[in-house]
Amino acid sequence: MTVLVLYATVEGHSRKIAEYAAAYLEKRGQGVVVGDVREPGFAVPGRFDGVLLCAPVHMGRYPASLAQFIIDWKTALAEVPTALVSVTLAIHSGNAEDRAEAEGYPAQLEKKTGFHIPKVHHAAGALKYLEYDFFKRMLMRQIASKEGAPVDTSKDYEFTDWTALDAFLQEFADDISLAARA
Ligand SMILES: Cc1cc2nc3c(=O)[nH]c(=O)nc-3n(C[C@H](O)[C@H](O)[C@H](O)COP(=O)(O)O)c2cc1C
């Protein structure tokens, strides 16, 4: 069985998650192809037994490339287990309203694409203060302060719960095995 893991990313954290997911699935005996959703090449859904999409939310939305990919491939995606790892900062917030907002992003994506994503994992992302330009650093510091995240901009922070991601990936791998047997 071969799984397609595609990512969209702005600052690299969703790619890191996708690569982690690929390594996890490979260790459990799956063939895996990893790629950027903007340049899938031959890595398109119809050839795979499952598809995992990993993408961040920036300014309230996923990258346009993710939505376009889903629109283009939704018929093929509907035929195999398909899952999304939604990467946000808000899911890590101490504020319940922020977390609810993060939980609502996949529904917005579904509305935009007309595709129901059967399985979603919400992963907390990263704050990369050292990589941001001045304005982005100030913006993210402000958002972090509102959400109870660190505001010391002399360091980067990563909030992803890798153990929770493992559990999700195991469920996803089980879905693929079950679908292949059906
Ligand atoms: C300019 C900017 C805007 C962001 N907007 C949001 C947002 O609206 N909601 C949210 O939960 N996280 C937001 N984030 C946090 C990102 O989702 C988080 O940093 C994630 O790890 C980025 O993933 P990437 O490295 O794959 O791009 C934002 C980050 C940046 C830098």
Cα 181 to middle of ligand 1, angstroms: 38
Cβ neighbours of residue 179 closer than 8 Å, sequence gap 6 or more: 49, 50, 80, 81
Residue 43: predicted pLDDT: 72
Helix (H) or strand (E) holding 67: helix 64-77
Residue 40: predicted pLDDT: 76
Asked if 53 and 17 touch (Cβ cutoff 8 Å), the reply is no
Residue 180: predicted pLDDT: 83
Map out the domains of the chain as residue ranges: 2-125+160-181, 127-159
End-to-end CA distance of the chain: 14
Cα 177 to middle of ligand 1, angstroms: 33
Residue 182: predicted pLDDT: 78
Per run of 10 residues, the mean pLDDT along the chain (length 182 residues) is 95 98 95 92 82 97 97 95 97 94 98 97 97 96 92 97 98 93 80
The binding-site residues of ligand 1, defined as CB within 6 angstroms of any ligand atom, are 9-14, 56-60, 87-90, 102, 125-126, 136, 140
Residue 72: predicted pLDDT: 94
Distance CA 125, CA 62 (A): 13
Q: ∠ CA 28-69-27 to the nearest 5 degrees? A: 10
Asked if 84 and 115 touch (Cβ cutoff 8 Å), the reply is no
Whose alpha carbon is nearest atom 27 of ligand 1? 10
Assigned fold of 2-125+160-181: Rossmann fold (3.40.50)
142: helix, strand or coil: helix
Q: ∠ CA 164-167-171 to the nearest 5 degrees? A: 140
Residue 44: predicted pLDDT: 77
Residue 47: predicted pLDDT: 83
